[in-house]
Chain A
């Protein structure tokens, strides 16, 4: 089971409204390599990991991804605070307003709704872990694009933190994969 902690993993305090940035950040909220996709990907793959190392690592990283989803949501929410309908229309968020007002909704910056077709769970643990490594790399690249789009330190701080987590997660998945290959671990379950 899970318990809620009423705090973010890393603080988000954005004072300056930036609707274009809010829109771009939807990539990590409801896009193919979003924190939501990462969480669901690992959460579904953990049952067919071959040993306790894999079950532990996927459970723990999936849990951290929910915290990242909350950070991205907080950033989008704060970046949109106080925007008028005119502001939203100008930033290309008119469609978002029509359907969701200023509510959060997991779609990508172009309004394409999140789908579980973005995630993988093959039952083959090497295939799954390698897809996780690739997903972490793609998310890292997305965070770099997002960092290229802003100079606001209040936005760069959390983005830099989140990007670095992709680097660490990638490394842990790679270590798990290499450990399995080196020790010829088989799935017995």
Chain B
């Protein structure tokens, strides 16, 4: 269906990973995107990234300090998560385990700070030990910020 202007051109991708017959283990932890750049792309690995339609990843524009902090937290969680999927396949990659550990540690720290300021995100947070019960409070994830 090549009549669509945005239709995928399999053979002229700059970062086409679909037609590579085998995988490589040459991923370099130093070549990861930083958490925010990876987050807005949905991909921490420059060698795997390929965009579609957009000229580049869309920046997130926070309208409050709370939203800004949440985006920072989301990006750290994302970075740790995307690396964890990689590590499931390559459990002996020391550099990548270190990258995971760093982002994960920072994510946990920011997670607690955020919850102290804006209320609980997880049930087992210290932010859930206040009166009255705080878990019920807005915002719910599907509601606009």
Contact = CB atoms under 8 A, between A and B. Distances in A.
A164 interface: yes
Interface string A1-31: 0011111111111110000000000000000
18 contacts: A3-B122, A6-B141, A7-B70, A7-B74, A9-B74, A9-B77, A9-B78, A15-B144, A57-B88, A70-B141, A144-B53, A148-B6, A164-B50, A165-B42, A168-B48, A168-B82, A169-B85, A172-B88
A10 B39 contact: yes
Given A6-B120, A6-B141, A157-B60, A144 B52 contact: yes
Nearest to A147: B53
B85 A61 contact: yes
Interface string B1-41: 00010111000000001100011000000000000000111
Interface string A57-87: 1001100100000100110011000000000
A162 interface: yes
Interface in B124-145: 124, 135, 140-142, 144-145
A168 B70 contact: no
Q: In terms of DSSP, what is the predominant structure of the interface of chain B?
A: loop
A43 interface: no
B71 interface: yes
A167 interface: yes
A27 to B, nearest CB: 16
Q: In terms of DSSP, what is the predominant structure of the interface of chain A?
A: helix
Nearest to B7: A144
Interface stretch (A33-41, A90-98, A114-122, A173-181): A173-181
Given A11-B74, A157-B58, A167-B43, 7 more contacts: A53-B91, A147-B52, A164-B43, A164-B51, A167-B17, A172-B88, A175-B23
> When A and B form their complex, which 6 residue pairs have the shortest distance between CB atoms, in order from nearest?
A164-B42, A74-B142, A161-B42, A175-B23, A57-B88, A56-B88
B56 to A, nearest CB: 10
B122 A6 contact: yes
Interface of A: 3-15, 53, 56-57, 60-61, 64, 70, 73-74, 77-78, 137, 141, 143-144, 147-148, 153, 156-157, 160-165, 167-172, 174-176, 178-179
B84 interface: yes
A78 B81 contact: no
A156 B22 contact: no
Contacts of B117: none
A53 to B, nearest CB: 6
B45 interface: yes
Contacts of A147: 6, 52-53
Given A7-B74, A160-B58, A57 B85 contact: yes
Contacts of A176: 89
